[in-house]
Structure 1
């Protein structure tokens, strides 16, 4: 038996590829299927099942494409109702793959169809659980995402999750390995550990959610401090539940080079958003006017989802040379399938054509320090927990994910400074503000990390809450 965790850092997502004898199964595959097909061919095995732990909200699974290419059936837990053909398993149903077995444990709460898969080895020993978003390392799946679909409150769903954990997970052996669907950085939980696998026994000791004295405490603690869910989550659920265009078609459609001369016409005719995926350090020096910068080298896909929201919105890419297909792939992972093309030759071709260029007013932290006084307006776009831990004296907390709300109230005559932790998020904010005609600001290079190296007064550091 071979268990392989296929972890994708930018989504903090874990898919699983398991082989026994000449058969294999895959759990929660990513959108692009070729890596899985390559593994199957290399191992000379047949894919027998594709197991889905639930209808994912934060990424589009590759289950539909993978099933079409391999003939392997898609399996969901009880109560699932996808629009495509799938096997809806019963609670405690057992599937055989080679010499091993996989037992379905229906564990609703994160969503009502959520299921955990219990692995039983060739000797009949229960060895691992693939827990999806039911149980994370250090946390459990947030129970507020399925409210509309279930006509339940988040408190009711949290109570159901408590029962699932107590009745299905906690009685299992401490030796069992836990393989979750997500790790630290995912928006599906608030307190996830950096590790991507652990023993159930250690989780029973260290996971706050598994150590609550009763259901009432569990519900209160699990719901406390949850940030608002990303607005694109519902669209991803719909794609996972209803099906989608094949990834190959999405990649082909998006891989169309557009010359600088045609670029403006294509953007205007399609109504496309110009998404510049270069690093902030390159973007601020020069970019196509009205572009939005979300760097590919970072939490690209989640921030695209948070900022653009509508997965059907047409997009034209400006990328570093050779990264076009990577950008299209990572967009497709979160359901943004409507890439209409990319700037041929990258930004240099635009620059060399003599067309209009815009810039961001980015300054070093030491320059900011020289001009700082008690009346200086500073906007901090980090997360609430980061801001609460330490921030510039008198800074305003305006998190990036809420920019559509707070940007409306900015005084366009008052100069302000904007920063995040290192410059990635503040450049996203800067590009959005510039595109809306708000230009009376300076973005601080290196963010709070560099500010801390100056004499700018800051609040006393407080250890960040794990929520």
Structure 2
């Protein structure tokens, strides 16, 4: 028996490759499926099943393409309805892979069809559970993502409480837990950085598995402080339910080199958005006017999903040399399939063609601290709510990047704004969006809050009431 976790940091997502006696099961595959096929071929094995723990909202799974290419059967939990062929399993149903067994445990709550998959080894011993978004390490899945459900998030949270206590917590403490996500995912609030654990450890450390917890307490604690889901979640879930264009075609269409002239024509006449995926420092030094920055070196795909509201938006890319395929692939993971090409030769080719280049003003944390002593500045803190509440500069405006599209009316294009995040990545994203919308007086704070904390600027910090 072989179990391999294939973890993707950008999405904080774990897919799983399970092989026994020449037969393979894949659980929650990413959009690009060739790595799974290559692994199976290297083992001289055949992919028999593709198990989906639920209709994922935070990424587009590769289950449809994988089934089409390998003939594998797609297995969802009870009640799942799709526009393509699947096997909708019953609770407790058994699937054989070589000399091991996968047992379906219907665990509704995160979504109605959510299921966990219990792996039973060749000796009949419960070995591991693939818990999807039902149970994370340190947390549980958010109960507000069901597709077209008449149930409230409180109803689903109650279901999740029952699922955890009747299907998960009854398992032996030594059973390995393989969750679908880790820290950084928006599918939960308190996910651990660890990606593998045990049932016993979770009973001891996971707030949602307290033995004396009532259902009412569970519902309240799970929902408390839960931010709204990113706008692309519902769209990705629907793609996973109804199907999507083959990834091979998406890559063929999107990974196309464009001359500066063709690139400019697409931006001007086909209303393609220019997406610059280089580093923030490169963007600050020089970029195509009205381009949006979201760098590959950060949480690229989730930010694309959160900030570009139309999945069908035509996109053309400015990429680091040799990384166009990576950019197209990572965007497709969150359903952005309408990339039309990339600028061949990058920004240097653009400059050589005599095209206009813009820059973004930047200031060091130390220089900002000196400037504040003599001037009244408008400072935007674009970090997440929790980061801001924990600690922030005095006399700043909180303007979370997550909600920039909804909150544009809170700022004035006639004013000058100094923008910071935690380290510099998100502030440049925010500045690029504002510049594209006519905000011309923007200054990025290099190094972000990490650098600002090292200055003598006054900081407000959250003080836990229990310590007062």
TM-score by length of 2: 0.97
Q: Please report how far the alpha carbon of residue 406 of structure 1 lies from its aligned counterpart in structure 2 after TM superposition.
A: 2.6
Unaligned stretches of 5+ in structure 1?
none
Q: What residue is the counterpart of 1:173 in the other structure?
A: 172
Q: Please report how far the alpha carbon of residue 426 of structure 1 lies from its aligned counterpart in structure 2 after TM superposition.
A: 0.4
Task: Output one character per residue of 1:416-443: Cα deviation in whole Å (capped at 9) or x when no partner.
Answer: 2110000100000000111111122311
Q: What residue is the counterpart of 1:421 in the other structure?
A: 422
2:17–2:24 CA contact under 8 A, matched in 1: yes
Q: Please report how far the alpha carbon of residue 353 of structure 1 lies from its aligned counterpart in structure 2 after TM superposition.
A: 1.3
Counterparts of 2:414 and 2:339 in 1: how far apart (Å)? Answer: 37
2:75–2:88 CA contact under 8 A, matched in 1: yes
Q: Please report how far the alpha carbon of residue 462 of structure 1 lies from its aligned counterpart in structure 2 after TM superposition.
A: 4.9
Q: What residue is the counterpart of 2:142 in the other structure?
A: 142
Q: What residue is the counterpart of 1:283 in the other structure?
A: 283
Counterparts of 2:464 and 2:331 in 1: how far apart (Å)? Answer: 34
Counterparts of 2:22 and 2:435 in 1: how far apart (Å)? Answer: 57
Task: Output one character per residue of 1:194-240: Cα deviation in whole Å (capped at 9) or x when no partner.
Answer: 00010100001100011162000000000011111011111111111
1:17–1:26 CA contact under 8 A, matched in 2: yes
Q: What residue is the counterpart of 2:395 in the other structure?
A: 394
Q: Please report how far the alpha carbon of residue 270 of structure 1 lies from its aligned counterpart in structure 2 after TM superposition.
A: 2.3
Counterparts of 1:231 and 1:49 in 2: how far apart (Å)? Answer: 31
Q: What residue is the counterpart of 1:205 in the other structure?
A: 204
Task: Output one character per residue of 1:251-277: Cα deviation in whole Å (capped at 9) or x when no partner.
Answer: 000011111112121123322111000
1:108–1:160 CA contact under 8 A, matched in 2: yes
Q: What residue is the counterpart of 2:224 in the other structure?
A: 224
Counterparts of 2:26 and 2:154 in 1: how far apart (Å)? Answer: 32
Q: Summarize the alignment of residues 66-145 of structure 1 with structure 2, pairs less than 5 Å apart.
A: 66-145=66-145
Q: Summarize the alignment of residues 263-274 of structure 1 with structure 2, pairs less than 5 Å apart.
A: 263-274=263-274
Counterparts of 1:370 and 1:169 in 2: how far apart (Å)? Answer: 56
- Alignment of 1:377 onto 2:378: yes
Q: What residue is the counterpart of 1:26 in the other structure?
A: 26
- Alignment of 1:236 onto 2:236: yes
Q: What residue is the counterpart of 1:328 in the other structure?
A: 328
RMSD across aligned positions (CA): 1.4
Counterparts of 2:293 and 2:284 in 1: how far apart (Å)? Answer: 9
2:382–2:419 CA contact under 8 A, matched in 1: yes
Q: What residue is the counterpart of 1:457 in the other structure?
A: 458
Q: What residue is the counterpart of 1:437 in the other structure?
A: 438
Q: Please report how far the alpha carbon of residue 461 of structure 1 lies from its aligned counterpart in structure 2 after TM superposition.
A: 5.9
SS in 2 for 1:10: coil
1:388–1:462 CA contact under 8 A, matched in 2: no
Range 262-271 or range 245-254, more displaced: 262-271
Task: Output one character per residue of 1:96-145: Cα deviation in whole Å (capped at 9) or x when no partner.
Answer: 11110000000001000000000100000001100000000000000011
Counterparts of 2:306 and 2:352 in 1: how far apart (Å)? Answer: 33
Q: What residue is the counterpart of 1:55 in the other structure?
A: 55
Counterparts of 1:332 and 1:414 in 2: how far apart (Å)? Answer: 37
Counterparts of 1:318 and 1:215 in 2: how far apart (Å)? Answer: 50
Q: Please report how far the alpha carbon of residue 351 of structure 1 lies from its aligned counterpart in structure 2 after TM superposition.
A: 1.3
Counterparts of 2:50 and 2:433 in 1: how far apart (Å)? Answer: 40
SS in 1 for 2:393: coil
Unaligned stretches of 5+ in structure 2?
none
Q: What residue is the counterpart of 1:245 in the other structure?
A: 245
Range 47-56 or range 148-157, more displaced: 148-157
SS in 1 for 2:57: coil
Task: Output one character per residue of 1:356-395: Cα deviation in whole Å (capped at 9) or x when no partner.
Answer: 1111111111111111148432110001111111111121
Counterparts of 2:133 and 2:187 in 1: how far apart (Å)? Answer: 7
Counterparts of 1:341 and 1:416 in 2: how far apart (Å)? Answer: 33
2:389–2:461 CA contact under 8 A, matched in 1: no
SS in 2 for 1:75: strand
Q: 1:343 to 1:462 in 2, by over 3 A?
A: farther
1:389–1:463 CA contact under 8 A, matched in 2: no
Instruction: List structure 1 segments (4+ residues) > 6 angstroms apart after TM superposition.
Output: none
Q: 1:463 to 1:420 in 2, by over 3 A?
A: farther
Counterparts of 1:351 and 1:198 in 2: how far apart (Å)? Answer: 51
Counterparts of 1:342 and 1:463 in 2: how far apart (Å)? Answer: 49
Counterparts of 2:312 and 2:414 in 1: how far apart (Å)? Answer: 36
Q: Please report how far the alpha carbon of residue 463 of structure 1 lies from its aligned counterpart in structure 2 after TM superposition.
A: 7.7
Counterparts of 1:269 and 1:463 in 2: how far apart (Å)? Answer: 54
| Count of aligned positions | 464
